[in-house]
Amino acid sequence: MIIKSAEFVISNTDYQKCPETTKPEFAFIGRSNVGKSSLINMLVEQKKLAKVSGTPGKTQTINHFIINQEWFLVDLPGYGYAKLSKEDRWNFGKMIESYLENRQNLFCTFILIDSRLPLQSIDLDFINWMGKHDLPIALVLTKTDKLKQSELGKSKFNIESALLKSWEELPPVFITSSEKKSGRDKLLGFIEQAIANANEID
């Protein structure tokens, strides 16, 4: 997939105010500080489309971007940021859950996982929640440039092994590095194929 254009559309806290559900939508979510904004900017080849911040928990709204005037990329708030108040964390949870459960044109949610760490319980809880609600997901391992190949292989194996304790079949897993721009073609290819398959069904 060639990215010809990527433009910000709208930010809000209510899924009912999101753009009309006439185009395919792909959401990105993960724990705070997992490198989500950097990954999004790498995918669309823009440095400042998604705001990169040194402060975790910066994304606090549902952010829609229109890509090639054909599909929406959605930047969702990170989960698990401890410095937010309990009320704010609950509001974030409700906002994200409402969006995920009700967005009819949501093709896939990419869940970002820091490849340098063991699978965190909050990541596993979220992945399992998505599975229980029968919502399509793919996993994106980030910051893989920080690991040696042997370390990365072990990390991927451990994450997949942890998932197989509760999942019969693994979701797609993408290996990425925003620094080295690795994994970009495969991830965009997955999105392109998902859109093509949907068009064939229509």
- Sorted by where each begins, the domain ranges of the chain are 6-15+22-201
In whole angstroms, give the CA distance from residue 117 to residue 181.
Answer: 20
6-15+22-201 CATH, one of 3.90.1150.170, 3.30.565.10, 3.40.50.300, 3.40.1710.10: 3.40.50.300
91-149 pLDDT, tens per residue?
557 888 899 999 999 999 999 999 999 998 888 888 998 998 999 999 999 999 999 99
Q: Taking the chain, what is the end-to-end CA distance rounded to the nearest angstrom?
A: 21
> Alpha helix (H) ranges present in the chain?
36-44, 86-102, 121-132, 149-163, 184-201
Residue 12 has pLDDT above 50, yes or no: yes
pTM: 0.89
Selection from 94, 122, 98 nearest residue 32 by Cα:
122
